[in-house]
A = this chain, B = another copy of it.
């Protein structure tokens, strides 16, 4: 089977969350006369991301949208950074939570998506909710054909239901879908349900201290250093016999 769709992890893979969040934390701090370590603030905020989703994945908590998890986490981080709750209005908190809608793409993202889109379905397969992803995609100019937010499947990656849902939504077999991600764990879960896989390292996603996802940890179907290599690499893959899914 040939690949019909390439779906992209979004935060970290397609957009640079760190620089965007830092930028808005700096603006927020300036408006409110706060002395915040914006880099540390961004790290701490993102640090609560996986634990918050894990509460949902494990069944300890019913599905809630990522916007809501981000907001809850933001309040925790503000407290941890000694910003008293009473100082900041809900409207301002919501503005800062909207930082995740105002992230910029990595320089190779839009050219790569635009090129791939000529021949394949390109979509977001993200833990973000659709409304967040749509606003982010307008800000960043991401030309998706389809936005598969987690609120559609009500499952957070790497829950296998998230990947299976996306393939079914597109009426495709898992082997016809490729996930492109900067995170080995995401690709491992996608491969386990039968997706094909493409890795692109984003070695500055977590600033200079990054220790994870600097290199591929499995023999992913495609590995590129720059997303703009992906269209030609896929064209080569499509000319060669496609291996059958290992997951059966």
Distance in Å from the Cβ of A95 to the closest Cβ of chain B? 15
User: Nearest CB to that of A119 among chain B residues?
Assistant: B138
A35 interface contact, C-beta 8 A: no
When C-beta atoms are compared, the residue in chain B nearest to A145 turns out to be: B134
The stretch that binds B, out of A46-54, A77-85, A146-154, A202-210, is A146-154
- Contacts A143-B143, A152-B152 given; does A171 touch B131 at CB 8 Å: yes
Identify the closest chain B residue to A144 (Cβ). Answer: B145
Are A138's CB and B147's CB within 8 A?
Answer: no
Interface magnitude class on chain A: 20 to 34
List residues of A (126-141) whose CB comes within 8 Å of B's CBs.
129-131, 134-135, 137-138
CA–CA, A131 and B170, complex, Å: 4
Contact of A170 among B130, B137, B146 (CB under 8 A): B130
Specify which of A135, A146, A170 lies most central, judged by the most chain B CB atoms within 10 Å of its CB.
A146
Distance, CA A151 to CA B130, complexed state (A): 15
Least distance between A184 CB and chain B CB atoms (Å): 28
> Can you tell how many copies of this chain the complex includes?
2
Contact flags (1/0) for A164-196 with B, using CB distance below 8 Å? 000001111000000000000000000000000
CA distance A117 to B117 in the complex (A): 18
Is A67 positioned at the interface, with any CB of B under 8 Å from its CB?
yes
A169: contacting residue among B130, B143, B169, CB under 8 A: B130
Q: Can you identify 24 A-B contacts, CB atoms within 8 angstroms?
A: A67-B171, A117-B138, A121-B134, A121-B135, A121-B138, A129-B171, A130-B146, A130-B169, A130-B170, A131-B169, A131-B170, A131-B171, A131-B172, A134-B145, A134-B146, A134-B170, A137-B145, A138-B145, A143-B143, A145-B147, A146-B147, A147-B147, A151-B169, A152-B152
> What 6 pairs between A and B have smallest CB-CB spacing?
A131-B171, A131-B170, A134-B146, A134-B145, A130-B169, A146-B147
